[in-house]
């Protein structure tokens, strides 16, 4: 389990804007944000130190995010009727706050009371079968009737069916782009329905169109909101399996619906089942599995929000310059030709867990592309 320490977000609007400005500054992702907060104590001090840190990392012309950009984002939030939640705020989703890479800032719009309900993530194929859609709708209606909110990613296919079936009982839609960016366009009506009766969430600024690198980031939020992730249909290589992997990393349950071996849309589910996921045939299977969860998991699911503390990054003495140097080393060893990840880690000569963490950061940033067979190439 990761170590924990309280992370108290600022209360004044000016200080909250500084927190957001740090997060929106160039080269400051989620892990870097937390590292800066840990090293400098608060967002204002970290923001002041950024140019010098960047200079030490070899970036001579670094500029922090302009204040005007933050002012525009906050105005857009007010215009949209959205609310900004900072990690550590009383209304920030309790389960999401427990994952190491939880969004430092989250825009939400809709019924915030849904964040107090136990949630389940439902994900699956975009080109789902008719049977997959029908099963999803039945499952989500039954789980909703039992008091669960349904979380998904507003994609076409299984995601859309899950949201539609849970509109009356409660659904959470996590967007890959900004809260005002509807994607795909075919889900426009569904988006507006969720804004009325459910809850929309995004960690991206308003106006940000979703790019490929944003979808893995969205997926970790979908699973992070939920007690369990349920995969209905998924190909052998799909975003749904990445979401299931996130759930495992986050210490959550993973469940899957079995499918015919000849149906490629079920290959991913069957792989998950082979590797130990719980087989699901109905809402009753889901409820029974959750009821049998470990006492630790039960406690985590019922901890009051005000008692939640925020996981800190693993204790370390490396500076941001050290991380920048390792990033440069990793990128210099990669090209357009795929290289086995194991070979890269061995050549780097650093602890495998450290190398893997930095590789993941670069992958989420879109600078590294993961290829089949454990291969890596420049993004």
C-alpha dihedral, 315 to 321 to 322 to 323, nearest 10°: 70
**pLDDT score of 307 more than 60:** no
**pLDDT score of 198 more than 70:** yes
User: Phi-psi bin for 225: left (phi > 0), alpha (psi -120 to 50), beta?
Assistant: alpha
pLDDT of residue 339: 85
Q: State the pTM of this model.
A: 0.77
pLDDT of residue 320: 57
233's CB contacts (< 8 A; 6+ apart) are: 124, 125, 128, 129, 132, 157, 158, 240, 257, 259, 265, 266, 268, 269
pLDDT of residue 312: 40
**pLDDT score of 251 more than 70:** yes
pLDDT, tens digit, for every residue of 137-178? 999 999 999 999 999 999 999 999 999 999 999 999 999 999
pLDDT of residue 156: 95
**Greatest distance between any 2 Cα atoms in the chain:** 59
Contact indicator for 120, 140 with CB cutoff of 8 Å: no
Which DSSP string do the residues of 296-336 spell out, in sequence order?
HHHHHHH--GGG--EEPPPP----HHHHHHHHHHHHHT--S
pLDDT of residue 346: 82
What share of the chain in percent tops pLDDT 70? 89
C-alpha dihedral, 194 to 197 to 203 to 208, nearest 10°: 40
pLDDT of residue 319: 57
Confidence of residue 315 (pLDDT cuts 50, 70, 90): very low
**pLDDT score of 86 more than 50:** yes
Contact indicator for 243, 215 with CB cutoff of 8 Å: no
Q: What is the pLDDT averaged over residues 229-243?
A: 92
Higher pLDDT, 349 or 201: 201
Inter-CA distances, 196 with 87, 167, 168, Å: 24, 9, 11
* Helix (H) or strand (E) run with residue 279 in it: strand 278-279
What share of the chain in percent tops pLDDT 90? 66
Q: How many Cβ atoms are within 10 Å of 210's Cβ, its own excluded?
A: 18
Contact indicator for 255, 241 with CB cutoff of 8 Å: no
Strand order in the sheet with 339-340: 339-340, 375-378, 368-371
pLDDT, tens digit, for every residue of 26-69? 989 998 999 999 999 999 999 999 999 888 878 888 899 999 99
Rounded-to-integer distance, Cα 275 and Cα 261, Å: 15
Strand partners, 199: 110, 172
Residue whose structure tokens are 């070899």: 58
Among the ranges given (306-320, 325-339, 343-357), the one the predictor scored with the smallest mean pLDDT: 306-320
Confidence of residue 309 (pLDDT cuts 50, 70, 90): very low
Q: Output the average pLDDT for the chain.
A: 87
Confidence of residue 305 (pLDDT cuts 50, 70, 90): very low
**pLDDT score of 296 more than 80:** no
Cis bond before residue 184 (omega within 30° of 0): yes
Confidence of residue 365 (pLDDT cuts 50, 70, 90): low
pLDDT of residue 318: 52
Q: What's the burial of 45, exposed, middle or buried (CB within 10 Å: 0-12/13-18/19+)?
A: middle
Rounded-to-integer distance, Cα 88 and Cα 65, Å: 23
Rounded-to-integer distance, Cα 261 and Cα 274, Å: 12
Q: What is the pLDDT averaged over residues 99-123?
A: 97
């Amino acid at each position: 389990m990761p170590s924990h320490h309280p992370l108290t977000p600022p209360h004044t609007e000016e200080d909250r804007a500084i927190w957001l400005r740090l997060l929106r500054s160039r080269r400051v992702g989620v892990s870097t944000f937390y590292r800066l907060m840990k090293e400098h104590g608060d967002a204002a001090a970290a923001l002041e130190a950024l140019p010098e840190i960047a200079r030490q990392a070899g970036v001579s012309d670094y500029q922090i995010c302009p204040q005007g950009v933050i002012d525009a984002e906050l105005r857009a939030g007010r215009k949209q009727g959205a609310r900004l939640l900072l990690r550590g705020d009383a209304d920030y989703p309790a389960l999401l706050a427990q994952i190491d890479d939880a969004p430092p800032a989250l825009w939400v719009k809709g019924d915030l009371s849904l964040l107090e309900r136990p949630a389940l993530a439902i994900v699956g194929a975009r080109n789902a079968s008719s049977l997959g859609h029908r099963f999803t709708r039945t499952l989500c209606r039954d789980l909703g009737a039992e008091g669960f909110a349904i979380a998904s990613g507003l994609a076409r296919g299984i995601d859309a069916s899950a949201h539609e079936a849970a509109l009356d009982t409660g659904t959470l839609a996590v967007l890959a782009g900004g809260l005002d960016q509807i994607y795909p366009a075919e889900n426009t009506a569904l988006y507006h329905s969720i804004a009325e009766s459910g809850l929309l969430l995004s960690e991206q600024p308003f106006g940000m169109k979703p790019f490929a690198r944003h979808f893995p980031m969205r997926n970790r939020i979908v699973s992070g909101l939920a007690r369990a992730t349920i995969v209905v249909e998924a190909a052998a290589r799909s975003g749904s399996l990445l979401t299931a992997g996130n759930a495992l990393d986050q210490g959550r349950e993973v469940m899957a619906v079995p499918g015919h071996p000849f149906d490629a849309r079920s290959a991913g589910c069957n792989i998950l089942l082979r590797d130990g996921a719980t087989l699901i045939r109905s809402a009753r299977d889901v409820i029974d599995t959750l009821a049998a969860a470990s006492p630790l998991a039960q406690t985590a699911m019922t901890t009051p929000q005000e008692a939640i503390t925020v996981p800190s990054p693993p204790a370390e003495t490396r500076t941001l310059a050290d991380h920048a140097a390792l990033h440069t080393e990793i990128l210099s060893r990669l090209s357009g030709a795929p290289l086995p990840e194991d070979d890269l880690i061995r050549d780097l000569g650093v602890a495998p867990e450290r190398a893997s963490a930095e590789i993941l950061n670069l992958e989420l940033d879109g600078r590294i592309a993961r290829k089949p067979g454990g291969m890596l190439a420049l993004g």
